[in-house]
């Protein structure tokens, strides 16, 4: 037990890297997904097909394979070096932007067509219609799937340990297990992951209750 406590700071430092990957990925991929959602429904054919192909590629291939492409294949092919942490962030952001883009697209499609027609009849511009009428409803509709993706992201951060020198929670845990020849650090890591996902679930529940109260007041 004392030995585990000695290595706990090392595990927690790995957890900090995991949180950093999570926060940066979420902060960048959430807004990036919106242009792909709108672009995939664009009337301009090249834009629509570019967005659809982008989403198809990143949703249709394993995340770990994408990590290998961005950390090994592209740098070797182009003769450049890339920081392992940067490769992780780049890959995760592009991957999750595709997933969020598809979630947003589904949310936008769920809004009744009559609202577009009503806005047009009132002389509201397409931009204002999307910004003030469609997107606020979309955000409420997509909250549950976005939270599910965020929880998946917490677990996916463990893939960062497969490349370079990124010392995330999973890498620090496996290193500790190898040094101690003791499986207990895996239990500690599981508890840390559960705390992270539990906090997300709790926060999402509070946010859903807020939206319900807001809707009730607006009704």
Residue 216 has pLDDT above 60, yes or no: no
What pLDDT shows up at residue 1?
Answer: 57
pLDDT tens, position by position, 173-210:
998 888 888 888 899 999 999 999 999 999 888 887 77
The CA angle 183-184-187, to the nearest 5 degrees, is: 105
> Which has more confidence, 177 or 99?
99
pLDDT at 18: 96
Give the domain ranges of the chain: 2-218
The per-residue pLDDT of the chain, averaged, comes to 87
Q: How far apart are CA 133 and CA 25, in angstroms?
A: 28
Mean pLDDT on 14-26: 96
Q: Identify the CATH class of 2-218.
A: mainly alpha
> Looking at 33-37, 49-53, 69-73, 208-212, which range is the least confident one?
208-212
Average pLDDT over residues 34-50: 92
Average confidence (pLDDT) over 110-124: 76
Confidence band (pLDDT; 50, 70, 90) for 26? very high
56 pLDDT more than 80: yes
Cβ neighbours around 95 below 10 Å, total: 23
Please name the residues in contact with 65: beta carbons below 8 A apart, sequence gap of 6 or more: none
Which residues fall within 8 angstroms of residue 104, CB to CB, at 6 or more apart? 33, 34, 36, 37, 138, 142
Distance, CA of 169 to CA of 157 (rounded, Å): 9
Helix (H) or strand (E) holding 85: helix 84-110
Q: Is pLDDT above 90 for 133?
A: no
pLDDT above 90 (res 6): no
Q: What is the mean pLDDT of residues 76-102?
A: 94
């Amino acid at each position: 037990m004392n030995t585990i406590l000695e290595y706990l700071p090392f595990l927690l430092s790995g957890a900090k890297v995991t949180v950093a990957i999570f926060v940066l990925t979420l902060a960048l991929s959430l807004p990036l997904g919106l242009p792909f959602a709108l672009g995939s429904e664009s009337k301009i054919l090249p834009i629509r097909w570019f967005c659809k192909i982008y989403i198809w590629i990143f949703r249709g291939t394993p995340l770990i394979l994408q990590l290998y492409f961005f950390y090994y294949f592209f740098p070797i092919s182009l003769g450049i070096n890339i920081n392992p942490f940067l490769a992780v962030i780049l890959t995760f952001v592009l991957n999750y932007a595709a997933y969020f883009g598809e979630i947003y697209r589904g949310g936008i499609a769920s809004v009744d067509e009559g609202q577009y027609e009503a806005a047009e009849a009132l002389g509201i511009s397409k931009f204002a219609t999307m910004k003030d009428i469609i997107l606020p409803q979309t955000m409420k509709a997509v909250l549950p799937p976005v939270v599910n993706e965020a929880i998946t992201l917490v677990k996916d951060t463990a893939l960062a340990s497969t490349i370079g020198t990124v010392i995330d929670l999973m890498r620090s845990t496996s290193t500790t297990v190898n040094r101690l020849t003791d499986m207990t650090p895996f239990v500690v890591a599981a508890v840390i992951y559960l705390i992270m996902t539990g906090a997300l679930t709790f926060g999402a529940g509070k946010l859903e209750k807020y939206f319900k109260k807001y809707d009730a007041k607006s009704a």
